[in-house]
Amino acid sequence: MRRDEKFSDNGFEAWGGYMQAKITKLEEQFSSGIGKADNRLTNIFNGISIYVNGFTIPSADELKELMAKHGGVYHTYQRSDDFVIASNLPDTKVKNMSLARVVKPEWITASITANRLLDYKDYLLYRNSKTQPKLNFTHTSRTDSFNVHVNCERKESVKVKETSPSDGYQKGVARDNHSNTLNEPEFQKNQPTKTAADPNFISEFYNNSRLHHISQLGACFKQYVNDLRDESNFEFPARNDLKSRILAIDSVTNHSSAACNHLKTIMHIDMDCFFVSVGLRNKPELRGKPVAVTHSKGGQPRTKRPGVDRATEFNLYKQKQFNKISKATGIAEGFELKTRVDNITDEDDKFGSMSEIASCSYEARAKGVKNGMFMGEALKLCPDLLTIQYDFEGYKEVAYTLYNTISQYTLDIEAVSCDEMYVDCTELLKTLNVSVHDFAFALREEIKNKTGCPCSTGFGGNRLQARLATKQAKPDGQFFLTPDLVDEFMFNINLRDLPGVGRQISQKLESLGHVTCGSLQILSLASLQNHLGNKTGSQLYDQCRGCDAHPLTFHTVRKSVSAEVNYGIRFENNEQCEEFLKQLSAEVHSRMLQFKVMGKCITLKLLVRAKDAPVETAKFMGHGFCDPINKSTTLQNATNDINIITKEVIAICKKQNIDPKELRGIGIQITKLDSISNKQVSGPISKFFKSKAIRPEPQQNKPESFDNVQNVLRTDQRTNTIPSTPKKNKVTQSESKSPILGTSKYNLPKKRGRPSKSVKPEVSTSKNVMTKFLQGESVSHDICVKKEPVKENVPKETCTKIEPKPGLLNLPWEKVRELLRAWFDSGQTPKPWDVDLIVEYLREMVTSKNIDKVYILVNFIKRKITEMKNDNWNHVVNCVVEEVQNAMLAVYGKKLLINDF
């Protein structure tokens, strides 16, 4: 049957049917809305149309806005002449579509940064050749008296990592941070090198050196988890298949009785030698051999550069490290200091390579090679060390597979990096009703089958135990640190293996005679705090016993946006420096648009050549031995205006009065961020706060769902005032206070000093009060309220202007109670942003010492959720209780008494 016979005329036939009419309507909306010529900033993308396929950073909505602002067209439905924007495509799509115009979203953002349309071919998601494009730098010598000659067979390293300016040296490839510090990118051999004085330096660096994306992957997957949680209904049908596979496993492991209980269980999962494992998928002949991922081929010396004095520079670095450790430990001499530069020779020697190793195989590690080690030292330890190049697309592919595999079973995930995460498995294991060992085995097998890469998993009662258990499980294994094993397990753990224990702290502890956790347990809390400070001492006191009160963070909030360049910074005058600051400000601005944030605090980070350091650095075009200078300015209002950022950055730099020839590194960081995201959330509590409708006061009826929450809770959002309350039986102001506290938070000054003896952490509330509260009845007449004298000559109808507080903090106590009741009665699946609102409110109550309110609400939440007997709500009460207890410990040093129901 033909289409026109099966379907009658629907009124859209003149435009080619319903879908064509829909597409036409969407395009007209774009053209008449954000795509209007009046809204354009530039015409960079004039004649360019895009279609976004799948998850991207920036998101589809953000790319739509960027195209509109810069003269392009965004299509909701793909057209034949569209450029397809994608960060990752499944195999089925790759096999069935043309890849000639599939480009990465960086093409859009980089073109905007460069203020011109860049060649899309440099941003193809898939290429016929997997060779990485090289940077065509041009060397600018201050004296122009020599040329740089480099062996064309050898590559120097590209390093994108997090650098501590105070160290003056790189510390390895960053796996997760919000800042990108760029050091010694890959350059084309036998080509002169371009410095930061070139006006196209930043754009060409970011456009051609793809390795800087590695440092963004961690932030990318934190956002990916955020998006997954925002869009999920928290139903996981894939669990049924997982349970079937687990039950089919003929496990040969003897499980302890604790293995199948349902105590708090945190999993730490980490891919083994991630970069190496991905690189060896297509190189099976290298398996079992010592392999390192680096851009250097190693063992091939280069021509020594005039002016380089590695011995002097290395000695300055080692002296600085010695002074830091000496100050931390109180020992001025007699200890051995080992550094990464000890075994590095001159650059014209085969062991002189300062290219860093990003990752190395276990066979290489067995010979002493480590991640972050310089290639020269590694070759001394392992002369037969083989090197492979980076496979950036492979890393992204495997990382997405890892996260997609875990997220089909649970979204209680804290992303750490592209190959590492924590997962709260408590609810998942209870639902599956399987042992930890069988679950881990099935999960690791699934990941290995999908990615071709092994992983290790560790399980424990908290994140610290899980992380240490993973170390025990590696490589390609699993380990469950059950409660009965914790004491014995922790006794032999080296203090250097504890998170947060770096070289200085470990040296300090070694000077006190302590190397293991078991040894440190003999010190009292007061003694540790005396030696290490209150915070570090308290943390180590808990950690050496296997305790960790830090909960997992499922929803990550970006705290900073930054861009740092510590390679190629060589200026001749202030004009060149100022031009570079403009370019770097534009890069930061682009990233702020990408993440939809504004910031109030602008920090300029400078690395200045130290007084005694050689002018030519040991590492080619690196920053060398420097003095760090960090200066900040705080704006009155948050902004992402490129002109304001640029102006402030240049002003800060000028105030330092630094010779531009001495600069070796520059970074810009924006903090104190505010989100400007327009993304709509579907949480019922969040929807309530987004509504600006003012509706009539409700009747006495109890709300049945969140459809009428706005009838129950009303705030005047049109003015920053407290809405006046209708008169009722001439009730005085003091009689209308909170029925629990008997005080008005708007009228009375905030009490200072220690809390009253009547308010204790282990608080006990009247049964009548609790019972009536749970029944929604007023309890004001059962409480003895101390009335405050009413001030005379006060107008009867007064609106006191206050600063509105976010979320629930802006609501009266009784309104919060009704909102929670309606939330539980709504029958909807709890959303993470709603839980965040509740937690934030309770933490504020603890901080303001309203413990009686906290006690009632927490017990009310726990009782209601227990009565619901709905697994979807279990994580809510766990999260609320955990956060409240952490706040109680921080404020009072004691936990809140919570009833069992």
Peptide linkage before 726 cis (omega within 30 of 0): no
Nearest to 186 by CA among 206, 157, 164, 212: 157
- Bridge partners of 669, per DSSP, are 562, 603
Nearest to 404 by CA among 343, 438, 360, 450: 450
Q: Which helix (H) or strand (E) holds 276?
A: helix 274-279
Q: Which helix (H) or strand (E) holds 530?
A: helix 525-532
Within a 10 A sphere around the Cβ of 75, how many other Cβ atoms? 19
Q: Which helix (H) or strand (E) holds 267?
A: strand 266-271
Within a 10 A sphere around the Cβ of 690, how many other Cβ atoms? 10
Binding-site residues for Mg(2+), in ranges, read: 270, 419-420
* Residues 6+ away with beta carbon under 8 Å from 26: 76, 77
Specify the 3-state DSSP secondary structure of 851. helix
Asked if residue 306 lies in contact with residue 322, where contact means CB atoms within 8 angstroms, the answer is no
Distances in whole angstroms, Cα of residue 838 to Cα of each of 805, 857, 868, 877: 14, 10, 18, 11
Length of the chain: 901
Within a 10 A sphere around the Cβ of 73, how many other Cβ atoms? 20
**Distance between CA atoms of residues 282 and 299, nearest Å:** 25
Dihedral pair phi/psi, residue 823, rounded to 5°: -60, -50
**Distance between CA atoms of residues 159 and 375, nearest Å:** 13
- Bridge partners of 182, per DSSP, are 160, 565
* Residues 6+ away with beta carbon under 8 Å from 800: 721, 722, 746
If you search the block for the tokens 């010592």, which residue do you land on?
290
**Distance between CA atoms of residues 203 and 115, nearest Å:** 10
H-type alpha helices, 694-753: 709-712
Within a 10 A sphere around the Cβ of 260, how many other Cβ atoms? 14
Nearest to 416 by CA among 180, 218, 178: 218
Task: State in Å, rounded, how far the first CA of the chain is from the last one.
Answer: 64
Within a 10 A sphere around the Cβ of 78, how many other Cβ atoms? 14
**Distance between CA atoms of residues 507 and 635, nearest Å:** 40
Catalytic entry in 27, 62, 356, 420: 420
**What's the gap between Cα 670 and its chain centre?**
15
Distances in whole angstroms, Cα of residue 828 to Cα of each of 821, 824, 877: 13, 8, 16
Asked if residue 625 lies in contact with residue 566, where contact means CB atoms within 8 angstroms, the answer is no
**Distance between CA atoms of residues 372 and 353, nearest Å:** 13
If you search the block for the tokens 């089925």, which residue do you land on?
92
Specify the 3-state DSSP secondary structure of 71. coil
Q: Which helix (H) or strand (E) holds 597?
A: strand 597-609
- Catalytic annotation on 420? yes
Nearest to 80 by CA among 121, 117, 51: 51
- Bridge partners of 627, per DSSP, are 608
Sheet holding 663-675, edge to edge: 159-161, 181-183, 560-565, 663-675, 597-609, 626-639
* Residues 6+ away with beta carbon under 8 Å from 153: 189, 297, 300
Query: Would you please indicate which residues are annotated as catalytic (active-site) residues?
Result: 420
